[in-house]
Structure formats: C-alpha cells, structure tokens
Amino acid sequence: MACAAALARFPECQWLFLYETDNWLASVHPICQAISLLKARPELAAAGFTVKRHSGIFCGYGMRFPSSISLALGLNLSTLWNLDGPNESAWQVTDGIRWRTCDAVFTSPLLIRREAWERTGGFDAKSFPFSDSDLDWAWRCAKLGWKMAVIASEDIVHDNLEQSSAWSANRVIDFHRSRLRLLRRHRENRAYLLKPVLFLRHFVETIVLACKARFDTTAREKLAKRRQMLRTVWSDYSS
C-alpha cells in the first residue's frame, strides 16, 4: 500500500527503497551505488547490502531459497549446519561497485526496481503477514528470470539491540506457519511430507523441555509453545 501510494504521487519514480526501523545508514552512498548497479544490470530486480551490528560485527543479509530439510531439522540445526546461508556466488565488480548475487536478500534495507515490483505484484502480505514475504517475493522474481544483488558496504547497520517486540511471544509459531506456507507454494513436491516429521520433532522437543521446565522458567515458556505446535501442526499451525 505504501509503494502504491508513493508511485501514485511520484509516477516518474523508478526505484523503491525499503527501510526498516532497525536500520541505520552512515550516508546516501549505498543508495547511489544500488541505483547505479541496477541501471547497469537490467537483470537485477533489487539490490541489498552487507550489513553490520552497532558493534561493527557483520550479520546476515540474505539466504538461499529454504528447503524442506531445513524446516524439518529446525532453525538451530539449520543455522549450525549453514543450510540456509547465503549463496556462495562469486563477487563481481561493476563500475567500481563490488557485488554478488543471492537467492533472497532481506529487506534491511533493499532498493527495488519498480518494473520488477509491478510485474510481480509486490509482497504477498495476506499470505505472509509475519515473515517470509521477502523470500516469497524473491522466489517469484526468480521464476520470472530476475536476480537479486548484494552490494559490499561498510555504511549500513541492521541491529534492533535485541529488543523484543509485541509479536516476539509467538515468533516460533508464526515462523513455522509462514515457512510451511512458503515451501508449499514453491516446493510442492516435498511440502506434503513435512507435517509428520515436524510433529515428531515437536514431540521430542516437548519431552526435552518438560525435563528442563522443573528448574528453568524459560523452558516452561518454550514448553507451552511446543505443546501448542504439537496440537496445530496438522492444521498448518493455525488454532
């Protein structure tokens, strides 16, 4: 809705810049680089950036398209084994701009080509109200022949300082609901096998957390969520 309002007011605009509340830019330079890159490489739908925390440590800017295996194993094991890490594509240089491709670049921040946005219809916020709207959009772009770029930058911070928002309490359930929906849409041949495997994982997690809950209040909170996930996994995590 925001993009539609912006394009209606500025019909000549060719770029959309998605900027989140936990982003900070040291200068306008990264945006200028992204515009230059998209002008030079018409196959790119969008350009994101390498980002870092306020401490200076670099953090994730994107990921490869997720697999059914990564969801079945869970976020912790997928992260440990780097199953969803960014594509290890070769770095390139265009007009002095160092960049690489990545399956899905997070919107933190992201410069988007208007043509790609309009051809794909933008984000599907109805299907993905919590997360994975950016992954779904990147996947739909890829099916139309577009690619995503990541520009090497030192000027952008992506860091919420570990502050919990109102939706954090249901994060684990909302994540599973969104990721299952994403895989069903883009990996139909494997998604139907996931629910029994997910049920088994949640069952094991419930037993482990039940043992810890006697001594750990944090484990009690997680246990309640795992029990809810056990009840709702068969209905796509909807109560």
Do 126 and 174 have their domain in common? Answer: no
Query: pLDDT digits over 129-181, tens only?
Result: 989 999 999 999 999 999 999 999 999 999 989 887 766 668 899 999 999 99
Number of structural domains, the chain?
2
Q: Which of 158, 177, 194 is the last residue of a domain?
A: 158
Domain that holds residue 194: 168-235
pLDDT of residue 167: 65
Claim to verify: residue 66 and residue 106 sit in the same structural domain: yes
> What's the mean pLDDT in 12-31?
96
Please indicate, yes or no, if residue 6 is contained in any of the structural domains: yes
| Residues 117, 178 share a domain | no
pLDDT tens by residue, 204-226: 999 999 999 988 988 998 999 99
With beta carbons less than 8 A apart as the criterion, state whether 45 and 140 touch. Answer: no
Q: Has residue 163 been placed in a domain?
A: no
pLDDT in tens, 73-115: 998 899 999 999 999 899 999 999 999 999 999 999 999 999 9
Instruction: Return the pLDDT at 214.
Output: 87
pTM above 0.85, yes or no: yes
Q: How confident is the model at residue 189 (pLDDT cuts 50, 70, 90)?
A: low
User: What pLDDT score does 128 carry?
Assistant: 95
Can you say whether the dihedral through the CA atoms of 69, 74, 77, 78 is positive or negative?
positive
Whether 80 maps to a domain, the answer reads yes
Same domain flag for 128 and 47: yes
Q: Chain-wide mean pLDDT for the chain?
A: 93
- Residue 140 within any structural domain of the chain: yes
What is the average pLDDT across 117-123?
96
- Clarify whether residues 187 and 209 are in a common domain: yes
My answer on whether 71 and 177 are in the same domain is: no
Q: Are residues 151 and 173 in the same domain?
A: no
Same domain, 212 and 118: no
Pick the last residue of a domain from 158, 191, 219.
Answer: 158
pLDDT, mean of residues 14-42: 96
Boundary-marking domain end, from 158, 178, 205: 158
Q: In whole angstroms, what is the distance from residue 207 CA to residue 199 CA?
A: 12
Q: What is the CATH number of the domain that holds 48?
A: 3.90.550.60
pLDDT of residue 133: 95
Asked if residue 203 belongs to a domain, the reply is yes
